[in-house]
Structure 1
């Protein structure tokens, strides 16, 4: 009987672990502000905009710092600034991810002919009929910031708020000024080139970018055709996934884009 009891106990313990109890790395719900301040003190990065996190709760995973911050702030528009050593040096919180649709932007910049090397599948953040994805933007000197960008095939470039010029280490004097048309009327944009955009470990070099004042942009940013035009694109609406397959011709061309809504 003792042997049977030990066997039953072992089976019960195994069942609990399969249900997630005792499973390492399980996300816990925490108050975001205090948790972010604790991580800041432990790892030596600075934080700005923490006041928007009052009474907010989020997920905390027992993983590396970069992943932990991204999970903790997944519902908020934020920037992670990396130092020269590659470690997180600064966290900037700007507010909840906006659900408001941004204006379509037509600027027709010159596109890079760099090809994408592999198929990419990304989880999307769904707001109504709109999908956004998390990307890493690479500026000058290897500086990188993380950003949630709305997938927008109507924008010819990656479009960012002008406030991101400094975190990306770009020299504003080196950017060219161009008048563009937005849903809010004509506006002045600063045009330049990012060193790269990273999508799930895939580095896309020399990506055209436009910077707009936030009141003209109306969103946290757009992932436009200077990235999407290098791929055939499929959006799985039901499972919130974005699949990107490199164009067969290897170039950046709007004519090769195929957008589908997949239902399973």
Structure 2
């Protein structure tokens, strides 16, 4: 009768364990590296989870990773090559996704001061201020100077013009840089063109619009991730002017009321 060597069973168990360990991670790695058509995946997710997508046509032909544990993380990975804003619904859901355009290195646009002129814009008349804008799809961005409560040199910030926002909306990561105390900010819900959001509301010492210093501007701070890295220029500043946007020349004209 053949004898049984327990060492053979031990070796077999070790070999089997080694095969399981070697093969186990493979499906996960394949899922993490899987790329999908961005437009198709956005369309599928929006129908499945009932949220709106604006600017989806700008993603045609693009591919991205299909991964992420939450829907917000999944959308950020899917749109990693695009400037975008994700408006979250109460809880962990998503209400709206806005795609502004493909990411590109940001170069601050030239600025025209009162009565001044540049090679790309016409001179302003009277007290008007004309600012060159940068396009993100159908939207316009301008670069303004933010001055904290303690004064100092203005901080340059690129902002998306949003007439649907009650206030200027900034990412919370700027609070300390602007010399503001988080304890001095009030928790409120604020209205933007993309819906109602939770924010911390306070006031800046001033915002520089070209050469003009606009004092005591109410601002709202919200999570950087929700803003998608894009500040909003809302009506707490725009409402002090008569505003005209020239789509052909990419210009924002502000005239005193």
What TM-score comes out, normalization by structure 1 length?
Answer: 0.48
Higher RCO (C-alpha 8 Å, min separation 6): 1
What TM-score comes out, normalization by structure 2 length?
Answer: 0.50
Specify the structure having the higher radius of gyration (Cα). Answer: 2
